[in-house]
């Protein structure tokens, strides 16, 4: 499915809106590390994100160890960043 990529201006505006997120070196993804009180809190966050992901049909790449969740957002169907990544990053900010 062809999903439009964000323009450079849209990408820059997103990064300005979400200062905790950074652009991956290749410019095709945004990344953020979340830290929680313990594993249980990290898992609760991941559960909320998982429910969102299924509804949105858009899924994060992530790595969890104990209280840390490293997240990468990119849209495989766009081969880069799309509005779906922006929406998911905003949703994640609402889950912390
Ligand atoms: N998640 N991050 C991400 N990127 C996608 O392109 C994507 C997805 N979840 C489901 C999905 N695409 C579906 O549209 C199918 O392509 C599997």
Q: What is the tens place of the pLDDT at every residue in 28-74?
A: 999 999 999 999 999 999 999 999 999 999 999 999 999 999 999 99
CA–centroid distance, 37 to ligand 1, in Å, is 30
Please give the biggest Cα pair distance in the chain. Answer: 39
Residue whose CA lies nearest to ligand 1 atom number 8: 58
**Ligand 1 in reach of 76 Cβ (< 6 A):** yes
Q: Ligand 1 atom 7: the closest Cα is on which residue?
A: 58
User: Do 30 and 65 contact (CB within 8 A), yes or no?
Assistant: no
Share of the chain above pLDDT 90, in %: 98
Task: Decide if 67 contacts 36 (C-beta within 8 A).
Answer: yes
5 lines ligand 1 (CB under 6 A): no
Q: Which residue has a Cα nearest atom 13 of ligand 1?
A: 57
Please, what is the average pLDDT of the chain?
A: 97
Q: What atom of ligand 1 comes closest to residue 75's alpha carbon?
A: 4
């Amino acid at each position: 499915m062809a999903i439009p990529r964000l323009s450079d201006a849209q990408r820059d505006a997103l990064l300005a809106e979400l200062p905790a997120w950074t652009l991956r070196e290749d410019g095709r993804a945004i990344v953020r590390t979340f830290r929680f009180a313990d594993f249980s809190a990290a898992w609760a966050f991941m559960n909320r994100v998982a429910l969102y992901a299924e509804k949105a049909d858009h899924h994060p790449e992530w790595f969890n160890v104990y209280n840390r969740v490293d997240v990468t957002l990119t849209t495989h169907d766009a081969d880069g960043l799309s509005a779906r990544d922006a929406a998911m990053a905003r949703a994640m900010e609402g889950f912390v």
